Amino acid sequence: MSEPLDRSTRWSYDERGEPREFSYQRFGSPTVSAAETALSELEGGTALLFPSGAGATTALVLSLLGPDDTIALAEGCYYGTGLTFATLAPWGVRVVEFDQTGPPPDGVQLVWLEAPSNPYLTMPDLEAAAAHPAPVVVDATVATPVHLRPLEHGADFVLHSATKYLAGHDDALLGAVACRDEAVAEELRTFRSRTGIVAAPDPAWLLLRGLQTLELRVRRQTETAALLAERLREHPAVETVRYPGLGGLLSFDVADAETARKVETSTRTIVNATSLGGVTSLIESRSRWEGERVPPGLLRLSVGLEDPETLWGDLRQALD
């Protein structure tokens, strides 16, 4: 039987007038809790769900840091994470960027890594980060627990945009944080209940369904992405290919912004859209969002579950 979807916002008290396990949805609900249990098992920690990846980022930072604390943020990671932190600047959140392939800088209160970074696809030096005294967060949205379980490498928190591979079908907006320490997870849960940054049952149910095929999807996406990266490296119109050898995300550069626009609007099977991690392959030029932070000809490709040769044929005709 699949997990029932319970949309109630309240559950009756017991015969003695005491709250049962679930009383009010903001404090916890059965479908969300079932999805959290499934994700906890995958990550080897205590997982909590949030309404989006950005919501999870906000909740985690606000619950861990005080005014004038500084986050060491992996340079070239998801640009939206930097925007979230910048939005929190009036509350005293400070950021320094650093190269995550080496050790984090001294004097920071939180280390924020991305495995691999989106869209530069660098992998963090997890050992160097674990040796730092500050808590370490690894956004492992792109790696997924199929390829990496950061808590086993000394991270304190794993963050996911569950919108992407975990839910996996481009139809659920959701975030997750898996905590190494149960007591810290409890504090984050209380923070979540009080601030209301809480996930709803419907996307949690879609996450539960997506998790059933996570491994199959990600392994196949990785195989296809590795093949496409190899072929792209040989194409004369492609200058640089970034692929870390795991996961379904890659990026590559063509000559300039105009060429990139031409390529992204010329694919037929691969959809010209933002986001990543679903069963449909998506391509987009990233400078539209990130401006000069990325090369003007950078295209990000999220590899779906279509036939690999069909995908290569589509890319090749667009590049030609």
Contacts with ligand PLP, residue ranges (CB under 6 A): 52-54, 78, 80-81, 114, 118, 139, 141-142, 161, 163, 173, 175
**By C-beta, is 66 or 245 nearer to ligand PLP?**
245
Give the separation between CA 18 and CA 34, rounded to whole angstroms: 22
Smallest separation (angstroms) from ligand PLP to the CB of 142:
6
Smallest separation (angstroms) from ligand PLP to the CB of 55:
6
Smallest separation (angstroms) from ligand PLP to the CB of 7:
21
Smallest separation (angstroms) from ligand PLP to the CB of 77:
7
**By C-beta, is 163 or 267 nearer to ligand PLP?**
163
**By C-beta, is 142 or 241 nearer to ligand PLP?**
142
CA end-to-end distance (rounded Å), the chain? 49
Smallest separation (angstroms) from ligand PLP to the CB of 153:
18
Chain residue at closest Cβ approach to ligand PLP: 53
Centre a 10 Å sphere on the Cβ of residue 62 and count the other Cβ atoms it contains. 15
Give the separation between CA 309 and CA 145, rounded to whole angstroms: 27
Smallest separation (angstroms) from ligand PLP to the CB of 275:
6
**By C-beta, is 207 or 229 nearer to ligand PLP?**
207
Smallest separation (angstroms) from ligand PLP to the CB of 160:
8
**By C-beta, is 114 or 253 nearer to ligand PLP?**
114
**By C-beta, is 54 or 238 nearer to ligand PLP?**
54
Nearest to 162 by CA among 53, 28, 316, 312: 53
**By C-beta, is 10 or 288 nearer to ligand PLP?**
288
Smallest separation (angstroms) from ligand PLP to the CB of 14:
36
Burial 162-173 (b: 16+ CB within 10 A, else e): bbbbbbbebebb
Query: DSSP labels for the chain?
Result: -PPP----SB----TTS---S-SBTTT--HHHHHHHHHHHHHHTSEEEEESSHHHHHHHHHHHH--TT-EEEEETTS-HHHHHHHHHTGGGT-EEEEE-TTSPPPSS-SEEEEESS-TTT-PPP-HHHHHTSSS-EEEE-TTTHHHH--GGGGT-SEEEEETTTTTT-SS----EEEEES-HHHHHHHHHHHHHHT----HHHHHHHHHHHTTHHHHHHHHHHHHHHHHHHHHH-TT--EEE--SSSSEEEEE-SSHHHHHHHHTT-SSSEE-S--SSSS-EEEETHHHHGGGS-TTEEEEE--SS-HHHHHHHHHHHH-
**By C-beta, is 81 or 267 nearer to ligand PLP?**
81
**By C-beta, is 139 or 290 nearer to ligand PLP?**
139
Smallest separation (angstroms) from ligand PLP to the CB of 56:
8
